[in-house]
Amino acid sequence: MFYTDLGNNNYKYCTVDFYNDKFSLYNLDHSPFMLNISTAISLQSGVFWVGYITTTLFDCDSSNIEYVLTSTASSTLPFYVYRTDGTLLFQKDSVVTQWCFGCFGGISIHPIYNTPMGTKLLLANQSAEEWYVYSLCGSLPVSIDEIEQDGNHYVHVYPNPSSGNTVLEINSPGNIENYELTIYDASFQSVRKESVKGIQKITLENDKLSSGAYYFSLQTKNKIIQTGKFIISK
C-alpha cells in the first residue's frame, strides 16, 4: 500500500493486488474512490510495479487518471503510461527508471523532476549507455512518499514485529493543530482512530488483534504527515 497525490493535494490511498493484476484507490477517510482497476500488464511476475498515479502529470486532460507500469531493476523491459480505462499513452522499450534513495552521499535520484523548464522524465538504456529526457505535460505533485523522505518521523512503533502489546509513540509536528492517527488492518478496515496533539503514547493490546500486517497514518484534515507499517505475530 502507498499514497499518491492525484493533483492539487487530492491525496488517495492505493492498494495493489499483485495476484489479480488490480489496484484500488481510497479516500483519506478510507471510503472507496476507484476499486479494482485492472492493470494493462500482469504484475504477477513481481517485475512491474505501479506508480505515479495522477491526473496532472502525463496528460493535459485532468479528467483522466494515468499511472506508470515499469521496472526499476531490468533495462530490457518497457516503460508504460496508461489511463485507468486501458488507453496506452506512452511506451519506451528497453529502459529502466533511475530510482535510488541515499545514493552518492545521501542524494535521492528520481525518474521525474519539476524543473524551471517544466517537468522532465528521465529514462536510461544501460546496455547502450543512453539517456532519454522527455518533457511532460503537467507538473509533478508532491507525493506522500516524497514527504516521508524528508526524515520527519513523528510516529515510532515498537516492538516491530510484536508478539505482545504494540506501542505507538507519537511526537506530532506541532502542539496547536489537531492530528488524527488511524490504524487499519491489511484489508483496509479501520481498527482504531485517535485524536493526537503534542506527545502521546498509544498501546495496542495484541490479544484483541489478529496476526498480520497493520498500517497507520498520521494526518490533518487535508494532508498526510506520515505513514507506516507494523507486524503482529503471535
What are the chain's domains?
A: 2-147 (no CATH), 152-232 (2.60.40.3080)
| Mean pLDDT score, 5-31 | 85
Q: What is the mean pLDDT of the chain?
A: 81
Q: Using pLDDT thresholds of 50, 70 and 90, give the confidence band for residue 45.
A: low
Of the candidate ranges 79-83, 105-109, 139-143, 217-221, the one whose mean pLDDT is the lowest: 105-109
Residue 152 has pLDDT above 70, yes or no: no
The pLDDT assigned to 67 comes to 93
pTM: 0.62
Listed in sequence order, the residues at least 6 apart from 112 whose beta carbon sits closer than 8 Å to its beta carbon are: 52, 57, 119, 120, 121, 122, 136, 140
| Mean pLDDT score, 72-86 | 83
155-187: pLDDT as tens digits: 888 988 888 899 999 887 765 567 888 888 877
Is 95 buried (19+), middle (13-18) or exposed (0-12) by CB count in 10 A? buried
What one-character DSSP code corresponds to residue 39? P
The pLDDT assigned to 87 comes to 94
Higher pLDDT, 24 or 60: 24
Among 8-12, 83-87, 141-145, 227-231, top mean pLDDT goes to 83-87
The Cα 50–Cα 53 span in angstroms is: 8
**Helix (H, G, I), strand (E, B), or coil: what is residue 171?**
strand
Q: Please name the residue that has the C-alpha cell 494526518.
A: 219
Higher pLDDT, 223 or 143: 223
**Helix (H, G, I), strand (E, B), or coil: what is residue 103?**
helix
The pLDDT assigned to 113 comes to 83
Residue 89 has pLDDT above 90, yes or no: yes
The pLDDT assigned to 112 comes to 86
* Neighbouring-strand partners of residue 231: 213
